[in-house]
Amino acid sequence: MTQYMISIYEREADYATLTPEAWGSVVDAHGAFAKAIADLGGTVTGGGVLQPTTTATSIRGGEVTDGPFVETKEAFGGFYLVEARDLDHALEIAKLTPAPFGGVEVRPLMDVNAGPAR
């Protein structure tokens, strides 16, 4: 099995106005997603949710600044690390990722002993 990172990119502003009930629905959707991964024969090996980009601090060329590197319509908001048989399996899993205000990106983790994929 190969590890893949499913990165979640969404419009942060949409989360700022969620009611507690709507937030609960998002949390429930992610719980159902984790169960669906197991049902599909994959495994969640890690993940996390990021605080908003307003809490970011960036370092570039040794210079420290408040905020993210760039302003975008969709921000990196969280991720799952999953084990999947192959890219097709990872994409099948990723299509189920709750991202109501954006989308996801799927990338394999690198085997540092083998180097970058060619």
Considering the domain 2-108 in this protein, what is its CATH number? 3.30.70.1060
pLDDT band at 11 (very low <50, low <70, confident <90, very high): very high
Q: Is the pTM of this model over 0.75?
A: yes
- Residues 59-95: pLDDT tens digits? 888 888 887 777 778 889 999 999 999 999 999 999 9
DSSP string over 11-55: -HHHHHT--HHHHHHHHHHHHHHHHHHHHTT-EEEEEEEPPPGGG
Q: What are phi and psi of 60, to 5 degrees?
A: -140, 120
